[in-house]
Amino acid sequence: MTTSSTQPVLLWDIFCQVIDNHGDLGVCWRLSCQLVARGQRVRLWVDDASALSWMAPGSCPGVEVKAWTPVLDVQGLSLGDVWVEAFGCEIAPELITAYANVIKDKGQKHVWINLEYLSAQAYVARSHGLASPVMSGPGAGLSKHFFYPGFTPNTGGLLREADLIERQTRFDREAWLSAHGLVRRPGERLVSLFCYEPSALPDLLTQLAQDDTPTRLLVTAGRATNAVQTEIEHKNRLQPLWNAREQLSISYLTYLSQIDFDHLLWTCDLNCVRGEDSLVRALWAGKPFVWHIYPQFDDAHHDKLNAFLDWLHAPESLRQFHLRWNGVNDTPLGSLALPDWAEVTRAARQDLWQQDDLVSQLLGFVASRRV
């Protein structure tokens, strides 16, 4: 049985540790479902699968979710054809111990992938696909291969469903708003907010409240909601008339499934997103967006952010907004130049559509190493 004339059906073991805000799990779930859609079999090992109850309430037939416990019981477990370590996690040593000798002694075809973080930095193209021999431990003698998602043809590409354009074309914005009990005022601009705790959040709220265009801010559940509510409480206490004209309306959303998160991005006129999975979804949405990159203690994310803005050919207004939003500087938050931002986003999306998606590239990469 094959997925095409050249792709055999393989069993993939994908390992995921939920470190922060479910982003890693979100990527691994999309990857798992898209592999299954291509006819593959997937076991998703995760240390905390609780977020799937709202992230993927309909489940995904063909994806077997396995509990990644501190000590993994591999008794009676069949050997997968592909191991995927997602985002720097290390595969359970019990599994490596159980099957390393089978792989080495019997010469069984097997591929070990280290799926890395997304970046537009130059090292990604240099490192993509490189082998990394395992020098110690039960896997000594085997090799991993680095697989880097990216924005250019010499990287691993981005996750993208085969029917994405068709679903976007069919999407009914007003029906989605109505289904979620959201009533938009005439001429009201819609802005989604999915963020950590940006230092420029007070400035954004003030700017939207003072703008001549009325805005409805759609705030995602979790840290974004907590950040907004904390700031509004602060403003109401110190500046009770900050939103006196009521130009800014705020709606707090419940946790959204991955499908509904896409719908949110397709609905809004500006999307404020965070992390990696939502950045990719914002690019596919083709709407103006601002990215809140995951902050690193040594400020390494500053270079990562600038590399992305360079790839995007971001106009100066968008670059400066990003730098302030991410705390790179403390300059005044610039205005929302949405037409200019929309133009570069659509151009980037068009360029990305011409490239093979991540799953297509991953299938080809694995096939080339099982010859």
Report the distance separating Cα 64 and Cα 55, nearest Å. 16
112's tokens: 């070990």
Q: Which sign, positive or negative, has the C-alpha torsion 150, 152, 154, 159?
A: positive
Q: How many helices (H) and strands (E) are present in the chain, helices listed first? A: 14, 12
Please return the burial class of 179, using the count of CB atoms within 10 Å of its CB with bins 0-12, 13-18 and 19+: exposed
Rounded to 5°, angle at Cα 111 from 107 and 117: 160
Question: Which amino acid makes up residue 285?
Answer: A
**Residue of 262, 269, 257, 315 lying closest to 284 (CA atoms):** 262
**Residue of 328, 219, 218, 195 lying closest to 274 (CA atoms):** 195
Strand 131-133 relative to strand 143-147, pairing: antiparallel
Report the distance separating Cα 24 and Cα 26, nearest Å. 5
Q: Which of 85, 116, 276, 277 is catalytic?
A: 276
Q: Is 24 a catalytic residue?
A: yes
Report the distance separating Cα 90 and Cα 267, nearest Å. 38
Q: Which of 13, 24, 81, 262 is catalytic?
A: 24
Element (H, E) at 271: strand 270-274
Radius of gyration of the chain (CA): 22
Element (H, E) at 63: strand 63-67
**Catalytic annotation, residues:** 24, 276
